[in-house]
Amino acid sequence: MAHRRTKVVALVVALVVVVAVGVGADRLWSTVRSQFASDTCTVGEYDLDPGQAGVAATMVGEVGKFDGGRLPDRAALLVLMAGLQESKLTDLASGDGDRDSVGVLQQRPSQGWGGSGSIEHRAEVLTDVGEATREFLAALVQVPHWRTVAPAKAIQAVQVSADGSAYAQHRSEAGVLAAAFLGRTPAGVSCSFDAPTEVAAPSRVAALASADLGIDTPRAAAGAVRVPGAHWQTAAWFVAYADRLGIEQVDYDGRRWTRTGGWRRAAGVGSGAVVATMYRKT
């Protein structure tokens, strides 16, 4: 993950160079501006790319569904800490990780992860972020005192990594991400990106949200998906997947998110439903 302060410092340095050079400054500034206009999702003081945000949203969604939704928020913290250390919240394909490790949690099919079947089949199974998360959680709840021991110790009992202490360094970031994607932090996830080139059908968006979050109320309509009774977790999921699905706007509880303006206060937006509006191609 990129800490936003790093980008700010780099931008300040670039501005100093523009001023100092003088000649050709317009061309240089255009280059600098393009470097900072890339697709980005912001969660608290941390920056993710949309792919990482989607992975985090799916992982936290699995926590909410597991064991009938009875897991504490701590489970989201732990699985995100693990994902940050193992892959930087990236769904790594077979061969892209260490030895035969695969997926966001770098689980090894040769060590029993991925269920039954051939090693190749297990590896394919583990590239499903939801399945990888479910297997982590199933192992986590078997760890004695996992709710109270040090987070890194609980994670290490599941992952059996070469250096279990490395997970601890991600506690602060994982805490911020968990609060945002669980919906504990209102309007906690914001993404910006260029106009989408592909826009999913509202029915597909509704189906994906239902599968990821375990909700059964999404209603697809012309150009929008409405989720009655949903809360900030659903809004965060829509924003995290907005780039890939072609979502232009999300409305909930007096606020509106857009891909160009982020979250802003919006009169007339109620709290009875989360509404995602799809991008309209011209």
The rounded distance, in Å, linking the Cα atoms of 36 and 151 is 34
Average pLDDT, the chain: 89
* DSSP-assigned states of every residue in 134-163: HHHHHHHTTSTTTTTS-HHHHHHHHH--S-
Position 236 scores a pLDDT of: 98
Give mean pLDDT, residues 94-118: 88
| Least confident residue range of 40-54, 97-111, 121-135, 162-176 | 97-111
Is 34 a residue whose pLDDT tops 90? Answer: no
Structural contact between residues 59 and 129, judged by C-beta atoms closer than 8 angstroms:
yes
The rounded distance, in Å, linking the Cα atoms of 76 and 71 is 9
Position 94 scores a pLDDT of: 80
Using alpha carbons, list the distances in angstroms from residue 87 to 24, 78, 97, 158: 40, 14, 8, 16
Is 44 a residue whose pLDDT tops 50? Answer: yes
Of 179, 180, 170, 4, residue with least CA distance to 85: 170
Structural contact between residues 201 and 272, judged by C-beta atoms closer than 8 angstroms:
no
Sign of the Cα torsion 54, 56, 59, 62 reads negative
Sign of the Cα torsion 68, 73, 79, 84 reads positive
Element holding 180 (H helix, E strand): helix 171-181
Is 109 a residue whose pLDDT tops 80? Answer: yes
Is 252 a residue whose pLDDT tops 80? Answer: yes
| pLDDT band at residue 27 under the 50/70/90 scheme | very low
| CA angle in degrees (0–180, nearest 5) for 162-167-169 | 130
**How many CB atoms lie under 10 A from the CB of residue 63?**
27
Is 226 a residue whose pLDDT tops 90? Answer: yes
The rounded distance, in Å, linking the Cα atoms of 121 and 222 is 39
Give mean pLDDT, residues 20-35: 40
